[in-house]
Chain A
Amino acid sequence: MVTYIVRRLITAALILLGASFLVYLLTAASGDPLEEFRASSAPNKQQLMDARTELLQLDTPAPIRYFHWLGGAAQCLIPFANSCDLGKNIAGQPITDALGHALIQTLTLVTGATVLAILIGITLGIITALRQYSTLDYGVTFMAFLFFSLPIFWVAVLLKEYGAIGFNNFLRNPEIPIPAALAIGAVIGVLTAVTVGGEMKRRLLIGGLAFLFAAAVLVYFSATEWFKTPGLGPVVIAIAGVGIAFAVTLLSAGLKNRKALQSALIAVGVGLVVYFVIQPLLNEATILMIVLLAVAAVLVGLGIGFLMGGYDRGQSMRAAALTSFLVGFLILLDRYMQAWPTYFNNSRVRGRPIATIGAGTPNIEGDFWIMSLDSFTHLILPTMALILISLAGYTRFTRASMLEIMNMDYIRTARAKGLSERTVVMRHAFRNALIPIATIVAFDIGGLIGGAVITETVFSVRGMGFLFLEGISHVDPNPVMGVFLCVAITAMGFNLIADLAYSALDPRVRVKA
């Protein structure tokens, strides 16, 4: 195992050396860094050209410059010396600083999108695999192919037009006319009817109920101008919480496990009490406090489950912990909604909250809630675009993997010995289907940092892709090399992790020592 890892690391280092040499030469050969001065008529033209030549060491040949750069980069390997030197960009800013900013921007952009895409993709994949050849399956498969074929820059422009400009116009006067409400309700009803499956009568009934509910909610929202002053309030949290409790118990323990259901419901009750207690505290919120509260919510849930016990204490604990985490999320959402009117009427936002470009409103001031709402409204469009693009792959892959597992002999054995369908799917099939997905996920995370170049360009986020493109357009090798180094190292590192994870998760696969 150790020999294997060491061998892989050494190979990776050699590949990195070769590839970085090539990238450096290619960037240096890609154009003339003095071009912008050649055509200029400035009196100090020669001076400027000399300065640029001095800065980029243009009088030394590119291969020698590479080794000079490599000498600086090699210092990054010395631990704790803080002597990392990746050179400077054309404006004289050290690359290490620029990379730090860009990395943060890119990570905030892609993290949420990736997590959501993975969650939604896996869920959809499993549902379609369980309902193979149903209308839902065909629908999702078609959507997956469609999303797979969408150019992201095209989606981005559509999102900007309808998601931002259109929605902001709607918010100015948030009234939904009755026909529109009925139409949206009908779409939701049809989707629900297709999703629930089962007998036609059951589908029609549930679909009809969903239609009525959705239309009624929309009319209510329109009448009370909910979109201007949104909020959940304790009543909605209570109802949604009970729904969550039932859903979580159904998936994790089965409704027959009464103790698990009771612990989940108690967790909802505790959450409601906490909702009133915690409001003054939330006014002073910081990011650390939110994280601590989330941890506390999970711990409280675990405690409730532990005290309730039952024949399977672990299941009760799991159900209660998941429920209390989700109820905590609802409370957080409610608090964000309370902050919405303030954000909406902020002098910098001026009633057009959904932003089309950038990563934040310039010069905005406010408390934690305002600031994070500002990030959300800027992140929502690129996140949606990224989710749409990457969802398809996860859905298709999970579906294929799940179908293969569901045809295995041990699944037949599990059914034959009388296990409930929930246990067969959640315990026997789902966990094994996740193994190949885990490797794909690791692989994708490796490619994340460099993978959003176009999204960053369209939404003017100054992340890694921006740095990279700017380096290329100015024929400036140092930023290109910095980005390349980060991207390549994470990609190769996560490749190794993917291989190791596969062998750790699937005992049939062993790495060659």
Chain B
Amino acid sequence: MAEDAGLPAAGVEPILEAKGLSQGQIVRKRFLGHSGAIIGLVVFAIIFVTAFTSVGYWGIPGWWKYSHDQVTPLVNDGVPTASLWPLVWGDHPFGQDRIGRDLFAMTMRGAQQSITVMLVIGLIAGLIGVVVGALSGYFRGWTEAILMRLTDVIIIIPALLLAAVMAQMAGRRDSGSWFATFASNNGILALGIFLGLITWVGLARLMRGEFLSLREREFVDAARISGASNARIIFKHILPNAVGVLIVNITLTMSAAILTETALSYLGVGVKAPDTSLGLLISQNQEAFATRPWLFWFPGLFIVLICLSINFIGDGLRDAFDPRQKKFNAKKARDHGGHPVAATPVTAFDGTKDD
């Protein structure tokens, strides 16, 4: 790489590695310096807190006066009462639907569902992806062959079919199996777990690639010679070096997961009425676009906001974890008149943390 070889271009921030900071500190500093990621984080935090406190979660009551399935008399034909100028919140800030349910409560409930699915998928896919990728990349041979063929099989089975099967099973409340009971009581959790069980394949492939290249490095040899067990090498030596790729890709998987969940609910195989989700709200209300457009705008807006903020966080993480990338400041470059700043040698960044 040109940058590693010598002079960083004009306007590059002073190189953090030279200050003797740990990898975690460098990553944190870089991440906090990424304005898009910070905005994404703040937006996501606001949505998260609002969604989970307003309408309550798991029986805990929230501060909002309506719940998502409560029918109240129509006020002003359900037109949203919130407005920016003059700044008022009103009784039904996002409006009401045809039968008088409060859209703010429904949207918040939907946002809860989407965030829950996202987190469950991220957790499960991350866990399985790491284990499968690590095992196949580290041990190679038969383990790799079997695990990778398994991923190949799962990767071509359409997610839609699996979701449909699950929706059918969850719908058969009376069949008495433990799964049907669980799924009908916690529809969204079951959906998240199910999607998590099929979205790990991409992560597993990535992690395998990381492990394949990292296991050939000198520090792994050194650890092995000094008598470290396989488990210790995997968890203490290789995994910390692959954690950047892992976190970034889990974020991207989660942002894709939100879209998958909303799409499945839209097609009628995800979350089902009487519970609600952002995708389901859109699918129920798209016919009413001409008469009640707000029913369509607010859920969509929240899907886009959640997904966008997660994507920006992921982008910030990618920049923060990528040792080659230097934060570039166009203003400073101009102030320097295009002359390169004094070069500081770039120290080797990888593999130095744990050995």
A residues with a Cβ closer than 8 A to B are 11, 14-16, 18-19, 22-23, 26-27, 29-31, 133, 145-146, 148-154, 157, 161, 407-409, 412, 450, 453-454, 457, 468-469, 472-473, 480, 484, 487-488, 491-492
Contact partners of A488 in chain B: CB under 8 A: 156
- Give the contacts of B116-167 with A (CB-CB under 8 A): 149, 152-153, 156-158, 160-162, 164-165
> In angstroms, how far is the closest chain B Cβ from the Cβ of A34?
14
Query: How distant is the Cα of A369 from the Cα of B282 in the complex, in angstroms?
Result: 37
Decide: A157 near B304, CB < 8 A? Known: A407-B2, A412-B2, A457-B267.
no
Query: How distant is the Cα of A414 from the Cα of B165 in the complex, in angstroms?
Result: 58
Is B266's CB under 8 angstroms from A407's CB?
no
Decide: A161 near B289, CB < 8 A? Known: A151-B262, A472-B161.
yes
Is B308's CB under 8 angstroms from A145's CB?
yes
- Tell yes or no: B286 within 8 A of A by CB: yes
Contact partners of B1 in chain A: CB under 8 A: 407
Contact partners of B330 in chain A: CB under 8 A: 133
- Tell yes or no: B253 within 8 A of A by CB: no
Decide: A26 near B149, CB < 8 A? Known: A151-B282, A407-B3, A454-B263.
no
Some 19 contacts from A to B, beta carbons below 8 A apart, are A14-B149, A15-B153, A15-B156, A19-B156, A133-B328, A151-B303, A151-B304, A152-B263, A153-B283, A153-B286, A154-B303, A154-B304, A407-B2, A407-B3, A408-B2, A453-B160, A454-B267, A457-B267, A472-B164
- Tell yes or no: B317 within 8 A of A by CB: no
Determine which residue in A15, A151, A407 has the highest number of CB atoms from chain B within 10 A of its CB, and name it: A151
Contact partners of B161 in chain A: CB under 8 A: 23, 26-27, 30, 468, 472, 480, 484
Is B153's CB under 8 angstroms from A153's CB?
no
Contact partners of A161 in chain B: CB under 8 A: 289-290
Contact partners of A22 in chain B: CB under 8 A: 153, 157
Decide: A151 near B279, CB < 8 A? Known: A412-B2, A472-B161.
yes
Decide: A31 near B3, CB < 8 A? Known: A19-B153, A161-B289.
no
Contact partners of A407 in chain B: CB under 8 A: 1-3
Query: How distant is the Cα of A148 from the Cα of B255 in the complex, in angstroms?
Result: 9
Closest to B266 in A: A153
Is B289's CB under 8 angstroms from A157's CB?
yes
> In angstroms, how far is the closest chain B Cβ from the Cβ of A32?
9
Is A409's CB under 8 angstroms from B2's CB?
yes
- Choose from A30, A409, A491 the contact partner of B164 (Cβ within 8 Å): A30
- Give the contacts of B258-276 with A (CB-CB under 8 A): 259, 262-263, 266-267, 269
- Tell yes or no: B202 within 8 A of A by CB: no
Is A26's CB under 8 angstroms from B162's CB?
yes
Closest to A31 in B: B168
- Choose from A29, A30, A149 the contact partner of B307 (Cβ within 8 Å): A149
Is A146's CB under 8 angstroms from B165's CB?
no
Query: How distant is the Cα of A11 from the Cα of B151 in the complex, in angstroms?
Result: 13
> In angstroms, how far is the closest chain B Cβ from the Cβ of A490?
11
Is A468's CB under 8 angstroms from B160's CB?
yes
Is B153's CB under 8 angstroms from A487's CB?
no
Query: How distant is the Cα of A222 from the Cα of B193 in the complex, in angstroms?
Result: 56
Query: How distant is the Cα of A408 from the Cα of B296 in the complex, in angstroms?
Result: 48
Is A149's CB under 8 angstroms from B304's CB?
yes
B274-303 near A? 1/0 per residue, CB < 8 Å = 000001001100100110000010001001
**What DSSP secondary structure best describes chain B's contact surface?**
helix
Contact partners of A146 in chain B: CB under 8 A: 304, 308
Besides A19-B157, A450-B158, 19 other CB < 8 A contacts?
A: A18-B149, A18-B153, A22-B157, A148-B255, A149-B303, A149-B304, A149-B308, A151-B263, A151-B282, A153-B262, A153-B279, A153-B286, A154-B300, A157-B282, A157-B289, A161-B289, A409-B2, A468-B158, A472-B160
Determine which residue in A408, A457, A491 has the highest number of CB atoms from chain B within 10 A of its CB, and name it: A457
Determine which residue in A454, A468, A488, A492 has the highest number of CB atoms from chain B within 10 A of its CB, and name it: A454
Contact partners of B67 in chain A: CB under 8 A: none
Is A153's CB under 8 angstroms from B263's CB?
yes
Decide: A154 near B156, CB < 8 A? Known: A30-B165, A149-B304.
no
Contact partners of B263 in chain A: CB under 8 A: 151-153, 454
Is A454's CB under 8 angstroms from B266's CB?
yes
Query: How distant is the Cα of A157 from the Cα of B283 in the complex, in angstroms?
Result: 10
Closest to B300 in A: A154
Is A491's CB under 8 angstroms from B304's CB?
no
Closest to B165 in A: A30
Is B255's CB under 8 angstroms from A149's CB?
yes
Is B304's CB under 8 angstroms from A15's CB?
no
Contact partners of A29 in chain B: CB under 8 A: 165
Closest 7 CB pairs of A and B: A149-B307, A154-B300, A30-B165, A149-B308, A407-B2, A31-B168, A472-B164
- Tell yes or no: B315 within 8 A of A by CB: yes
> In angstroms, how far is the closest chain B Cβ from the Cβ of A146?
6
Contact partners of B107 in chain A: CB under 8 A: none
- Tell yes or no: B311 within 8 A of A by CB: yes
Is B158's CB under 8 angstroms from A484's CB?
yes
Determine which residue in B165, B279, B289, B303 has the highest number of CB atoms from chain A within 10 A of its CB, and name it: B165
- Tell yes or no: B44 within 8 A of A by CB: no
Is B286's CB under 8 angstroms from A157's CB?
yes
- Tell yes or no: B312 within 8 A of A by CB: yes
> In angstroms, how far is the closest chain B Cβ from the Cβ of A39?
14
Closest to B293 in A: A161
Query: How distant is the Cα of A263 from the Cα of B341 in the complex, in angstroms?
Result: 48
Contact partners of B157 in chain A: CB under 8 A: 19, 22-23, 26
Is A145's CB under 8 angstroms from B312's CB?
yes
Closest to A149 in B: B307
Contact partners of B282 in chain A: CB under 8 A: 151, 153-154, 157
- Choose from A31, A148, A157, A480 the contact partner of B296 (Cβ within 8 Å): A157
> In angstroms, how far is the closest chain A Cβ from the Cβ of B199?
15
Query: How distant is the Cα of A468 from the Cα of B262 in the complex, in angstroms?
Result: 19
- Choose from B156, B168, B312 the contact partner of A30 (Cβ within 8 Å): B168
> In angstroms, how far is the closest chain B Cβ from the Cβ of A33?
11
Contact partners of B307 in chain A: CB under 8 A: 148-149
Decide: A151 near B259, CB < 8 A? Known: A19-B156, A469-B267.
yes
Determine which residue in B162, B164, B283 has the highest number of CB atoms from chain A within 10 A of its CB, and name it: B164
- Give the contacts of B63-90 with A (CB-CB under 8 A): none
Determine which residue in B149, B162, B255, B300 has the highest number of CB atoms from chain A within 10 A of its CB, and name it: B300
- Give the contacts of B1-33 with A (CB-CB under 8 A): 1-3
Query: How distant is the Cα of A450 from the Cα of B157 in the complex, in angstroms?
Result: 11
Is B2's CB under 8 angstroms from A149's CB?
no
Closest to B261 in A: A151
Query: How distant is the Cα of A468 from the Cα of B158 in the complex, in angstroms?
Result: 10
Query: How distant is the Cα of A22 from the Cα of B165 in the complex, in angstroms?
Result: 12
Query: How distant is the Cα of A146 from the Cα of B266 in the complex, in angstroms?
Result: 20
B303-331 near A? 1/0 per residue, CB < 8 Å = 11001100110010000000000001010
> In angstroms, how far is the closest chain A Cβ from the Cβ of B92?
22
Contact partners of B308 in chain A: CB under 8 A: 145-146, 149
Determine which residue in A19, A148, A454, A472 has the highest number of CB atoms from chain B within 10 A of its CB, and name it: A472
Is B149's CB under 8 angstroms from A11's CB?
yes
Query: How distant is the Cα of A146 from the Cα of B305 in the complex, in angstroms?
Result: 9
Decide: A150 near B304, CB < 8 A? Known: A27-B161, A407-B3.
yes
Closest to A18 in B: B153
Query: How distant is the Cα of A453 from the Cα of B1 in the complex, in angstroms?
Result: 42
Contact partners of B303 in chain A: CB under 8 A: 149, 151, 154
Closest to B269 in A: A472
Contact partners of B152 in chain A: CB under 8 A: 11, 15
Contact partners of A153 in chain B: CB under 8 A: 262-263, 266, 279, 282-283, 286
Is B158's CB under 8 angstroms from A151's CB?
no
Contact partners of A472 in chain B: CB under 8 A: 160-161, 164, 269
> In angstroms, how far is the closest chain B Cβ from the Cβ of A258?
34
